[in-house]
Amino acid sequence: MRSMEPIAPDAPGPAPLPPLDLAPGHAAAGHLPGPFNEEALENFAIQLRARLTAGSPTLGLVFMAPPYFKFAREALEIIRLHARTPLLAGCSSHALVVNRHEIEREGGLALALYHLPGAELHGFHFPARDVEPDPGAGYWVRQSGVEPEHTRGWLVFADPFHMRSDQWLRGWNASYSPRPILGGLASGSDGEFSSQIYLNGHVYDEGGVAVSIGGAVSIAGLVAQGCEPVGETWTITRAEGNVIHQIGNRPAYEVLQETFAMLPETVRGRAKGNIFVGLAINEYTEDFRRGDFLIRNLLAGDPKSGALAVAAFPRAGQTVQFQLRDAAAATADLAEHLAQTRADLAGKLVYGGCLCVCNGRGTHLFGRADHDAGLVARSLGPLEFAGFFGNGEFGPVGPRNFIHGYSATLALFTKA
């Protein structure tokens, strides 16, 4: 881990980042609490559309809590009619996100409307049966009807229970990488293996819904995996399948033990049971930082053989660094990515966003409500966004897209 030099009291700090250039009246997001009520939803959709002062909706994103399941189709038609959305997409979730709030217990419905000038949008549903083990580079181009040069990225909501999402993503990357995919896997009631995916007036219980963003609008992505690097970066010298046998020509388990032993005592306490593996995406990076690693679970370690089993397929020659994940690390990680996003989008007009948060975050991780949504709002200003808590999040690390866990991903719609 890079050492941090203390800053002298009279040393100038870093220049403050400029605020995002937000387009007023181009997005409006709101939460309708309580059970389904036709009149209440009509009024809610009309009032939300009235807040879209820049023009008519181009896109609507909707997220519904499980009590809405049997009314979902009716709810979609009410929104399409009264919010006048030409393209409406979303999914179910046990917890919702609206602007700076995370609604983990009240249920209801979250809706965001966006006026995206000059956008070329295309939405389609792909059933689980269409997911092929090795579809080839052009398969999803044929299925979607969208050529790679006609999209700037995708917003995807998928069912986690009936489809091999990792298999789908491999084929999708073959067709569209490096264009980003943001979104996530739907969720439902605790303990029940059911969810819903929405596209216009249709309700699906399997597969996925993909929305291509193109024309005069781009989609920018932020992926905060919730970790901080610990110890040094190493090179994997022997790996087989999902097992790392040697790191730096030493038993991998020995390197993990040494890394843990060298941590400061306060950090060691945080690290117990919270160590993950970070696999570098780009081997040519000279100074590895947050966002350069794909974070995966450390499944098991064998002190006798010296092997480590991980939830990935590492390769010899790949750079690895152990990672610490807890509430403090997740907070620092998201804050750093938000600061980088502000810097990257300086001078670009931002219309609105969509925030996807892992089920393992929220009050379960941070001990209080509104953590991720509140941090986004404080960092980026009065951005209008909606989202949901999911069973996994889609987002790019380097030129490829992955499924993440314990992460927060933010999609921002910007002027191209």
pLDDT at res. 9: 40
The mean pLDDT of 18-28, rounded to a whole number, is 90
pLDDT at res. 331: 96
pLDDT (tens digit per residue) in 126-150: 999 999 888 888 899 999 999 999 9
pLDDT at res. 390: 95
Instruction: For residue 152, name the pLDDT band (cuts at 50, 70, 90).
Output: very high
Residue 3 in this model has a pLDDT that exceeds 70: no
Q: Report the share of the chain in percent with pLDDT over 70.
A: 96
Task: Look at 245 and 284; give whichever has higher pLDDT.
Answer: 245
Instruction: For residue 18, name the pLDDT band (cuts at 50, 70, 90).
Output: low
pLDDT (tens digit per residue) in 311-329: 999 999 999 999 999 999 9
pLDDT (tens digit per residue) in 188-198: 887 778 899 99
How many whole angstroms separate alpha carbon 398 and alpha carbon 180?
Answer: 10
pLDDT (tens digit per residue) in 44-93: 999 999 999 999 999 999 999 999 999 999 999 999 999 999 999 999 99
pLDDT at res. 124: 96
The mean pLDDT of 351-357, rounded to a whole number, is 98
pLDDT at res. 13: 47
Model confidence, pTM = 0.91
pLDDT (tens digit per residue) in 169-222: 999 999 999 999 999 999 988 777 889 999 999 999 999 999 999 999 999 989
